[in-house]
């Protein structure tokens, strides 16, 4: 299922599919969500993040390597936003890539 439009979302031209981005398919965790995960679930999350990026690049994903992957490679925690209610909480908004 494509974000925002159901399966087979189409671009502005009406007949071209909207390209997917890493952010479209990734689940980002707050610090509180990350802290609540057991060690095995954290390892699974790291593996899924890496596998997702690998799959997208094999399909021609043109975007830069996401910051979350750089943090994981350095052994840092991957959470990217504070918990809801904390100062600085932000909402992930999805924007399709422009057609080339």
DSSP-derived secondary structure for 9-69: -B-TTSSSBPPP-HHHHPPP-BHHHHHHS-HHHHHHHHHHHHHHHHHHHHTT--SPPPHHH
pTM: 0.59
Q: What percent of the chain has pLDDT over 90?
A: 11
pLDDT at 23 over 70: yes
What pLDDT shows up at residue 7?
47
Confidence band (pLDDT; 50, 70, 90) for 94? very low
Task: Return the pLDDT at 96.
Answer: 55
Residue closest to 78 by CA, chosen among 42, 39, 36: 42
User: Which pLDDT score, from 0 to 100, does residue 43 have?
Assistant: 92
Mean pLDDT within 44-60: 89
């Amino acid at each position: 299922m494509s974000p925002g439009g159901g399966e087979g979302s189409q671009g502005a031209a009406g007949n071209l599919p909207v390209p997917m981005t890493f952010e479209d398919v990734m689940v980002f965790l707050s610090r509180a969500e990350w802290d609540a995960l057991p060690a095995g679930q954290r390892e699974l999350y790291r593996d899924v993040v890496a596998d997702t990026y690998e799959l997208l690049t094999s399909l021609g994903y043109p975007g830069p390597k996401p910051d979350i992957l750089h943090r994981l490679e350095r052994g840092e925690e991957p959470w990217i936003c504070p918990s809801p209610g904390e100062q600085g909480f932000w909402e992930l908004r999805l924007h399709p890539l422009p057609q080339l």
